[in-house]
Amino acid sequence: MTTTLDKPSKPTAKAPRTAAHRTARRKALLHWIAVHSLGVAAALFFVLPFVFIFLTSLMGGQQTLTRDLIPTTWEWGNYAKVFDTPGFLTWWKNTLLYAGLGTVLTVVSSIPVAYALAKFRFRGQRLAMMLVISMMMLPPQVIIIPMYLFWAKELDLAGSLWPLIIPMAFGDAFAIFLLRQFLLTIPGEYLDSARVDGCGELRILLRVVLPMAKPGIAAVALFQFFFAWNDYFGPQIYASENPAAWTLSYGLESFKGAHHTDWNLTMAATILVMAPVILVFFFAQKAFVEGVTLTGVKG
Amino acid sequence: MSTRTRKAAATLAATAAIALLATACTGSAENEAEDDPKANTTLTFWHGWSAPSEVKAIQENVKRFEAAHKNIKVKIVGNMTDDKINQALRAGGSSAPDVVSSFSTTTVGQFCSSGAFVDLNSYLKKSKIDPTKVFHKPLLDYTQFDGNQCTLPLLSDAYGLYYNKDAFKAAGITEPPKTWSELTEIAQKLTKPKGAGFEQLGFMPNYHGYETSTSHYLSQWSPTYFDAAGKSNIAKDPAFARMMTYQKGLVDKLGGYAKLEKYRNTFGDEWGAKHPFHTGQVAMQLDGEWRLGMAKDAGVKFEIGTAPLPVADDQIADYGKGYLAGTIVGIASTSKKKNAAWELVKYMTTDTAAVVAFSNGIRNVPSTIEALKSPDLKIDPAFKTFVDIAQHPKSNTSPANIDGGSYHTTLSDLAYQYEAGRVKDLQAGLEKAAKQIDTDIAKLK
Amino acid sequence: MTTYTLRSKRRRAALRTAAFLSPWLIGFSVFFAYPLISTVYFSFMKYDGIRPPVFDGLDNWTYVFNDYPMFWPAVRNTLWLVLVMVTCRVAFGLGVGLLITKIKTGAGVFRTLFYLPYLAPPVAATLAFVFLLNPGTGPVNSILESVGISAPGWFTDPTWSKPALTALAVWGVGDLMVIFMAALLDVPKEQYEASKLDGASSWQQFRFITLPNISPIVLFAVVTGVIQAMQYYTQPLVAGKVASGVIGGSGQQFEPGYPEKSTLTLPQIIYNAGFQRFDYGAAAVIAVVLFALSMVFTAFLMRSRGGLIRVGD
């Protein structure tokens, strides 16, 4: 019954031509049309910005100063020009280092913590969980003054990305939270039976829990990778004084001003910064959406 | 880089212990310089230039220095803003600069009073240089604060009026404007509206129209920013209200704020080839002497005229004056190579041949008395306008203050609101801004 | 079992727990507790990063609340964002979530398209919107004006800069859409079917079945939205910088909150006070205020009974 309501069924000769049936079918068709036109309208809203920036990225320099929407000449060379601007490849390298190494460190350091929070019983567990959530909700700007003084003055690491990467070796609150939510869904019986077999907790974590937690770990890794890829504030504070340490997000912002380019090249650079994230998403769509859902689910 | 990686790895292990013990609040300026300027060393030099021709000119300048000082290598980092400079001067450390140049003369007060830059007086004495014999007085004024000569001028900038001679001819105008009323008249004649915008705009008066900022306008009314007691004078000196009233009137006569803002958003980058003056979108432009070289590099088709900026109608006797500023250069107090750094600063700021060659390369006004007289200086008539403005006795600049130019931000904030018509009572606005400036400065003392 | 072995067993368990938690224990001390205490300390000191810090009493506090020209504009902007941006995002997220559960043809394609903008890196997305909404050459105003609508100045006009940021935030509503979608699919089907037999209209179904079922998720979205609004940093900062035309070209300092402080938020003024004015004391005061506000809403999220994130088991 639901199918006939939701899908417009083509009228067939066999169908009884009662008036009630016809109105029901017409109503269903109208409903289908209404829903899908709304869907198309929403899709336009979401997609058109990409289309416009893509078109602009292919315009000639003079044309970007006009109100034209469609390029008169298709300058595919704009993308090559972006790669040729000084620094662009360095930004890529730095971003990959920050996002790659940072993700590995986060995952490795957060898993045992999340496991303990999800599966152990200990005094102060509730408090620890509350502190993890507080850390998760803490804006990075709140602690930036002492942190900056610490990294720059005590450790002489200003002008590099290390002040952003090193902390990830000490667990990331969001990763811990997300992994804990995921580990809670693993039934305790699996762990108990392993314990009966005489496994230590570390072995249980490595042999039993990790294989079952792969989707959760994948989601955490993705989130962390995207976080580092998108991070603007961190590089702005720690890397800004050394162009050799800039990341894509930070470099992109000053791209237009620093290279005196027009919107066409700026938009080409914008697309080149968006593209990897979107590509990664297509390969890992399922893990990602699961992760987003997990953040909103009660633990 | 590899030492840094090692260091980071070591840090990783030790982070926890150190952090718990560290009291992250030490940091006193050291002024003793103990390094040997004859030893082999590498200096880090920061500058703010970013236009390709300018970057090339400063690189060549540094190359000449390296050729004359075989033991010193210089690592150049460009496109640095004052935020980043200030930040690095506080952090010190391996990636921090030894020698720093900045365009903001208003920041000098902050640089000197905080001790971020070392006082160069003792270095000048050691090298037996009398700065008053090398530099004109206004330049010495904007590079020091309360007797602390923490920076020296590295070429100077003078602001004037550029005009499109072809557009003038087409509109039947023969002379550039000498007073602001004349400028209004000429700008209106040159303005050709088209649809919701313009085919050609006579002059872009909005404060965000690149160099048409409050301070650059203000010099033509010879303002006094602070009274003898160091209090903000902007509500008492009528120059401020007059300038802002004039600018607002010009905005209204040329089509109104909204229309002009919209037009402004069609402009190419200020430092790129498609600057609105180059493209003919505006026929007159308030700008510094560097525009000449940039316009030529961009292959501008029309003939460019230069003139001093107009003056207030009742100050016609002062015609020829303009806003002065310049690049300043100093030595970071965190530098461990101050003597070598001084060699670079001394060379770039006081060596006549170096100043002349750099001036010819970057098309800025030379900053030493000797260099201004040098026969090697390439001066064409259009450029001479700016050399004359630089030497005009009534030319002026915005004073240094310990707030590092925050007083300027406060004034500009009011100006933005006034030009947009969101503040109606100008005098009340000026009084409020003056109070804000005084509070901000008191907070820092 | 003797008490001795029991105690040693307990001690071993405690040690094991500590070992598992150790990365986080260090991270918590070094990157949370220590800097927080230090920030509170700096809020009472006069410190510019060069001269040694000096005790300054409540000076920083009175300055920030009474005289710092950016504090109240930032607070007002944040309130605006909480009221308008969060509402728009939740309403739109819910709407799109509902829509996607109703779409039967090509649902997967629609879902991906709706979700994509959320993935766009904030700096890139903001740059794109500043271009799209550029009053001079941007396509949005070109289209609006070609149909005779006089278009605003968006990021260059203080009354329109926050609506422009809202448009950007609504564009990236994919995260909420997914959360709402999951919640909507969890609503028991029987309830709808039963109500249909009773002749309920679709509005009545939404009002009396859907909403009550998903209300915890709506509340979750609102509260996290409020926290995000208070921490809003990259988008307004980049939008202001790029729209003002001053973006690191030739040494110019950017103008915080362009146009006319209309895009300032609390994290931005921590940057302004700390890293543009180098008044670490004032920056620390704002940081303490922002911390307190964030924690109030976080506590709301965690209230164990009826709370949205359960911290216990």
> What number is the average pLDDT over the span B31-39?
76
Tokens of B170: 């087409």
Neighbours of chain C (3+ CB pairs under 8 A): A, B
CA atoms B230, B234, B239, B243: torsion sign: positive
Percent share of chain C, pLDDT over 90: 64
Interface test with A, best of B83, B86, B95, B336 (most A CBs within 10 A): B95
Average pLDDT, chain B: 89
Stretch (H or E) spanning B201: strand B197-203
Q: Which residue has the tokens 């903000």?
A: B232
Residue from B157, B72, B67, B111 nearest B333 by CA: B111
**Cross-strand pairs, B75:** B44
Instruction: Count the domains in chain C.
Output: 1
| A258 contact residues in B (CB cutoff 8 A) | 50, 79
Q: With contact defined as beta carbons under 8 Å apart, do A270 and C128 qualify? A: yes
pLDDT given for residue C12 in this prediction: 86
Q: With contact defined as beta carbons under 8 Å apart, do A150 and B22 qualify? A: yes
Q: Which of B51, B265, B412 sits opposite C156 (nearest CB)?
A: B265
Tens of pLDDT, residue by residue over B89-144, are 888 877 789 999 998 888 888 889 888 999 999 999 999 999 999 998 888 888 99
| Cis status, amide bond into A8, omega within 30 of 0 | no
Q: How far apart are CA B48 and CA B328, in angstroms?
A: 11
Quick check: C161 pLDDT over 60? yes
Q: How far apart are CA B407 and CA C18, in angstroms?
A: 54
**Cross-strand pairs, B156:** B326, B365
Average pLDDT, chain C: 89
ipTM of the complex: 0.91
Quick check: B28 pLDDT over 80? no
| Residue C41 located in a structural domain | no
Contact A241 B24 (CB under 8 A): no
**Cross-strand pairs, B153:** B328
Cα distance from A171 to chain B (closest Cα, Å)? Answer: 13
Instruction: Compute the count of residue pairs across chains A and C with CB atoms less than 8 Å apart.
Output: 277
Q: Give a three-class secondary structure readout of C257-284.
A: CCCCCCCCCHHHHHHHHHHCCCCHHHHH
> What number is the average pLDDT over the span B190-219?
92
Q: Which residue has the tokens 């033991």?
A: B71
| Residue C134 located in a structural domain | yes
**Cross-strand pairs, B396:** B323
Cα distance from C171 to chain B (closest Cα, Å)? Answer: 23
Interfacial A residues in 51-110 facing C (CB < 8 Å): 52-53, 56, 64-67, 69, 109-110
Domains of chain B: 34-157+324-386 (3.40.190.10), 159-323+399-444 (3.40.190.10)
Stretch (H or E) spanning B427: helix B426-444
**Residue C255 sits in a domain of what CATH number?**
1.10.3720.10
Tens of pLDDT, residue by residue over B393-424, are 999 988 888 887 889 889 999 999 999 999 99
pLDDT given for residue B379 in this prediction: 86
Task: Return the number of other C-beta atoms located less than 10 Å from residue B241's C-beta.
Answer: 18
pLDDT given for residue A299 in this prediction: 33
Q: How far apart are CA B423 and CA B414, in angstroms?
A: 8
| Residue C125 located in a structural domain | yes
pLDDT given for residue B11 in this prediction: 52
| Residue C275 located in a structural domain | no
Q: Which of A67, A146, A292 sits opposite C178 (nearest CB)?
A: A292
| A260 contact residues in B (CB cutoff 8 A) | 50-51, 269-273
Q: With contact defined as beta carbons under 8 Å apart, do B291 and B277 qualify? A: yes
Quick check: B27 pLDDT over 50? no
pLDDT given for residue C8 in this prediction: 85
pLDDT given for residue A5 in this prediction: 38
Local structure of residue A284 (DSSP, 8 states): S
Tokens of A180: 């804990």
Output the pTM of the full model: 0.90
| Residue C50 located in a structural domain | no
> What number is the average pLDDT over the span B365-386?
91
Tens of pLDDT, residue by residue over C167-185, are 999 999 998 998 899 899 9
Interface test with B, best of C25, C250, C258, C263 (most B CBs within 10 A): C250
Q: How far is CA A127 from the centre of its chain?
A: 29
Contact B25 C52 (CB under 8 A): yes
Q: With contact defined as beta carbons under 8 Å apart, do C235 and C121 qualify? A: no
pLDDT given for residue B22 in this prediction: 41
Contact B268 A262 (CB under 8 A): yes
Q: Does B380 touch chain C (CB under 8 A)?
A: no
| Cis status, amide bond into C259, omega within 30 of 0 | yes
Q: Which domain holds residue C225?
A: 68-264
Residue from C237, C234, C250, C188 nearest C213 by CA: C188
Tokens of C200: 């309920």
User: From first to last of its 299 residues, what are the pLDDT tens digits of chain A?
Assistant: 333 334 444 444 455 567 788 888 898 899 899 999 999 999 999 999 999 999 999 998 888 878 888 899 999 999 999 998 888 999 999 999 999 999 999 999 999 999 999 989 899 999 999 999 999 999 999 999 999 999 998 899 999 999 999 999 999 999 999 899 889 888 888 888 888 888 888 888 888 889 888 888 988 998 899 999 999 999 999 998 888 999 999 999 878 777 777 789 999 999 999 999 888 888 887 777 677 666 654 33
Distances (CA, A) of A270 to B46, B315, B392, C131, C168: 28, 50, 47, 11, 15
Neighbours of chain B (3+ CB pairs under 8 A): A, C
Reduced to 3 states (helix: H, G, I; strand: E, B; else coil), residue A228 is helix
DSSP line for B241-274: HHHHHHHHHHHHHTT-HHHHHHHHTT---TTSTT
By mean pLDDT, which of B190-194, B411-415, B439-443, C244-248 is the weakest? C244-248
Residue from B117, B24, B149 nearest C52 by CA: B24
**Cross-strand pairs, B41:** B72
pLDDT given for residue B136 in this prediction: 87
Contact B413 C153 (CB under 8 A): no
By mean pLDDT, which of A155-169, B63-77, B235-249, C131-145 is the weakest? C131-145
Terminal CA-CA length for chain A: 36
Better pLDDT: A292 or C55: C55
| Residue C118 located in a structural domain | yes
Contact C244 B80 (CB under 8 A): no
Cα distance from A13 to chain C (closest Cα, Å)? Answer: 24
Buried b (16+ CB within 10 A) or exposed e, A124-141: ebeebbbbbbbbbbbbbb
pLDDT given for residue B193 in this prediction: 94
Q: How far apart are CA C302 and CA B62, in angstroms?
A: 60
Distances (CA, A) of C267 to B221, C273, C287: 39, 10, 8
Reduced to 3 states (helix: H, G, I; strand: E, B; else coil), residue A122 is coil
Contact A169 B268 (CB under 8 A): no
Quick check: B30 pLDDT over 50? no
Reduced to 3 states (helix: H, G, I; strand: E, B; else coil), residue B159 is strand
pLDDT given for residue B366 in this prediction: 93
Q: With contact defined as beta carbons under 8 Å apart, do B276 and C137 qualify? A: no
| Residue C35 located in a structural domain | no
Cα distance from B233 to chain C (closest Cα, Å)? Answer: 19
Q: Does B51 touch chain C (CB under 8 A)?
A: yes
Tens of pLDDT, residue by residue over C279-296, are 999 999 999 999 999 999
Highest mean pLDDT among A186-195, A218-227, B245-254, C3-12: B245-254
Domains of chain A: 2-57 (no CATH), 80-295 (1.10.3720.10)
Residue from C45, C36, C33 nearest C280 by CA: C45
